[in-house]
Amino acid sequence: MSLYRATGSREADPKLLAWLTEEPAVPAVVRERAAFFVFFAQTIYPQLEAQRPVLDALYSPTDGRPAEDPVLLLGVLLLQFVERLPDRQAAEAVCWDARWRLALHLAEGDGGFHPSLLTLFRRRLLAGGQERTAFDAVLELLIEAGWVARRSRQRLDSTHICGLLSLMSRLECIRETLRLALQELERQGPLPEFCDPLWERYVESKLDVRSSIQALQAKAREAGEDAWRLLGWCRQQAPPRAAGKAVDLLARVFAENYEIDETGACCQTRTQPTGAVHNPHEPEAQWSSKSTSKDKTWVGYKAQVAETVPEEPCLPEEPTQSFLTALATQNASASDKAGMAQVLAEQAQQGQERPRVLYVDGAYVCAPTLHEAETEGRELRGPAPASPERGPGFPVDRFDVQLEERRAVCPAGQASSNCSRLEEQETGKVTYRIEWNRATCGACPLARQCLGRGQTQRTILVGAWHRLLQERRREMQTEAFRQDMHHRNGIEGTQSELVRGYGLRRARYRGLAKVRLQNYLIGAACNVRRWYRRLLWETKQGLRSPGSVTATVAV
């Protein structure tokens, strides 16, 4: 028995292809709009077909009825994100839209499928660890065609993604978690008598948000006490009642919002820890805020977007030559430095080399990341953070530090008298303590500007790779550096394109893994669209496109 249902010849319909590209009766607007699907059928779908061995491994050849062709489903997912359609409309387009049928190599008698099959296929991709298949396939094709170099100049920036959830207060979150836990326990067996008022309080009743502050505070204490009592009863039970999914979530939410004091009373904590649950229906979504904008907060995730930087700027109305090389998904509270490491790791898995130049903003630049880039023979181009202000006196930026010679020169031109190397035993972090003696500082004309109250000598602490920060801070004052950093600005437009054109700002699905799959499909769709626009423009300009791809674009 065949592993897949019959899907026709798997070749693009030649009659439909000729009608779209050659028939004079077809309006020019329709023909140009359909040209994208011709490009998809001739260039993209064969590359997806090459992923069949990977997709075959997701299915069992002897268990169950024949499956729908996974290459077809992967193509539908990619087109779905190109057109920004929900599952139901995508399934309908497969049945009734001739352009989709052409792009997916469907013959005249091929039928459609139920929209729920797309949900099952995405779940299968995640279970098999193949969420990057479409993105990697398109990127590999761009590399083979010469549009993306394996070692190129790139730019990187992050943007936030709002989770698929409603915002809840801490009280609403604990009450909803209690409701879910009670319903889970009730499905497993009869509840104890003390749960009767809890069931009425959290399952059959709703919170009146118009209550006074005192009433809401009392309800918060009551919810904490009820959760503690219910968790105590669950710990005394045998599995599975002691380890249900909702019960485990209730234990986590309780620990993030309450504590037991010395008298045994349940008290609500003043703040929640990083990564706390804010909605029990989406526990992986985290709260975060933009460090440069205190009024920008969200609950969800974060995406790291990397793209190539063209050697020459684009002409007016010329489509971009940049293509996405990575679209990594993080927890919202994760740092951009960790995100950069994740992006570089994903690019290495895809077969790309470390970018020879990477343009970033200040969130990615610090002494360790500069040292790592220097060690690997690449450039990390971005503004270095200013030295922290620590009370009165000149900041560390004003001192000329020469760690190789174990000395430093202060703003008054006085050389240091001592330099000590300090190493933390637990972390291995190395710092240097540089001092000036009392005699030098006492006779210095700038002592009042440099020393704080009660200080008789100046001391500074610098890291092991302070030289790199010092050089970057000096370079930031030059006009050449400011001009070079203009290459980073294009990533802002790319983020706007991903948000407005492909819906990157809001999660379609729940959970970090599903959002990661969504982002990879968005990245693949964006690369396909950009490639098509570039080919269309070069065709209209009479230019010869690079690479060996023989894509025919109907104009």
Q: Mind listing the pLDDT tens digit for each residue in 428-437?
A: 888 899 999 8
User: Averaged over 261-273, what is the pLDDT?
Assistant: 89
Say if residue 543's pLDDT is above 80.
no
Same domain? For 177 and 313 the reply is: no
pLDDT at 547: 36
Same domain? For 181 and 142 the reply is: no
What is the distance between the alpha carbons of residues 322 and 142, in angstroms, rounded to a whole number?
11
Give the residue, 525 or 464, on which the prediction is more confident: 525
For residues 224 and 258, the answer to whether their CB atoms sit within 8 Å is: yes
The residue assigned the tokens 């006085």 is: 414
Say if residue 553's pLDDT is above 50.
no
pLDDT at 21: 57
Residue 132: C-alpha distances to residues 104, 519, 547 (Å): 20, 9, 24
pLDDT at 181: 95
Same domain? For 311 and 247 the reply is: no
What distance lies between CA 75 and its chain's CA centroid?
A: 23
For residues 365 and 472, the answer to whether their CB atoms sit within 8 Å is: yes
Same domain? For 120 and 143 the reply is: no
pLDDT at 87: 95
pLDDT at 16: 60
User: Averaged over 166-175, what is the pLDDT?
Assistant: 94
Q: Which band of pLDDT confidence, cut at 50, 70 and 90, is reported for residue 93?
A: very high
Residue 275 lies in a domain: no
Say if residue 6's pLDDT is above 90.
no
Which residues make beta-bridge pairs with 298? 288
The contacts of residue 325 (CB under 8 Å, 6+ apart) are: 139, 148, 152, 154, 306, 307, 308, 347, 352
Work out how many domains the chain is built from and give that number: 4
Residue 494 lies in a domain: yes
User: Averaged over 63-82, what is the pLDDT?
Assistant: 89
Q: Which of 207, 198, 200, 204 is nearest to 227 (CA)?
A: 198
What is the distance between the alpha carbons of residues 354 and 477, in angstroms, rounded to a whole number?
27
Residue 541 lies in a domain: no
Residue 378 lies in a domain: yes
For residues 397 and 385, the answer to whether their CB atoms sit within 8 Å is: no
Same domain? For 377 and 509 the reply is: yes
Say if residue 23's pLDDT is above 60.
no
The DSSP 8-state label assigned to residue 364 in this structure reads G
Q: Are strands 379-381 and 357-359 parallel, antiparallel or unpaired?
A: parallel
pLDDT at 538: 86
The DSSP annotation for 439-498 comes to HHHHT-TTHHHHS-TT-SS-EEEEETTHHHHHHHHHHTTSHHHHHHGGGGTHHHHHHHHH
pTM of the model: 0.89
pLDDT at 28: 62
pLDDT at 11: 63
User: Averaged over 357-384, what is the pLDDT?
Assistant: 94
pLDDT at 7: 55
What is the distance between the alpha carbons of residues 395 and 460, in angstroms, rounded to a whole number?
9
Give the residue, 552 or 253, on which the prediction is more confident: 253
Same domain? For 364 and 483 the reply is: yes
Furthest CA-CA distance within the chain? 95
Same domain? For 235 and 307 the reply is: no
| Residue span of the structural domain in which 42 resides | 1-130
Residue 391 lies in a domain: no
Residue 274 lies in a domain: no
User: Averaged over 528-552, what is the pLDDT?
Assistant: 70
Q: Which band of pLDDT confidence, cut at 50, 70 and 90, is reported for residue 552?
A: very low
The domain boundary, picked from 434, 464, 494, lies at 464
- Give the tens place of pLDDT for each residue, 516-535: 999 999 999 999 999 999 98
Residue 501 lies in a domain: yes
Same domain? For 187 and 256 the reply is: yes
Tell me the HSE value of 69 on the side-chain side, using a 13 A CA sphere. Answer: 20
What distance lies between CA 290 and its chain's CA centroid?
A: 15
User: Averaged over 180-196, what is the pLDDT?
Assistant: 92
pLDDT at 263: 86
Structure tokens at 122: 């995405």
User: Which long-range contacts (C-beta less than 8 Å, at least 24 apart) are formed by 444-450?
Assistant: 444/410, 444/412, 444/414, 445/412, 446/394, 446/410, 446/411, 446/412, 449/393, 449/394, 450/393, 450/394, 450/410, 450/411, 450/412
Structure tokens at 178: 């209690």
Same domain? For 175 and 235 the reply is: yes
Taking all residues of the chain, what is their mean pLDDT, rounded to a whole number? 88
User: Averaged over 45-65, what is the pLDDT?
Assistant: 88
Same domain? For 176 and 83 the reply is: no
Say if residue 26's pLDDT is above 80.
no
Residue 548 lies in a domain: no
CATH number for 483: 3.30.420.10
Same domain? For 253 and 371 the reply is: no
The domain boundary, picked from 464, 485, 505, lies at 464
User: Element (H or E) spanning 260, and its range?
Assistant: strand 258-260
Which residues make beta-bridge pairs with 506? 162
Give the residue, 30 or 243, on which the prediction is more confident: 243
What is the distance between the alpha carbons of residues 180 and 174, in angstroms, rounded to a whole number?
10
Task: Count how many residues are written for the chain.
Answer: 555
What is the distance between the alpha carbons of residues 456 and 463, in angstroms, rounded to a whole number?
24
Tell me the HSE value of 504 on the side-chain side, using a 13 A CA sphere. Answer: 26
Same domain? For 91 and 9 the reply is: yes
For residues 498 and 504, the answer to whether their CB atoms sit within 8 Å is: yes
pLDDT at 13: 60
Q: By percentage, how much of the chain surpasses pLDDT 70?
A: 90
- Give the tens place of pLDDT for each residue, 123-164: 999 999 999 999 999 999 999 999 999 999 999 999 999 999
Give the residue, 90 or 265, on which the prediction is more confident: 90
The domain boundary, picked from 414, 444, 464, lies at 464
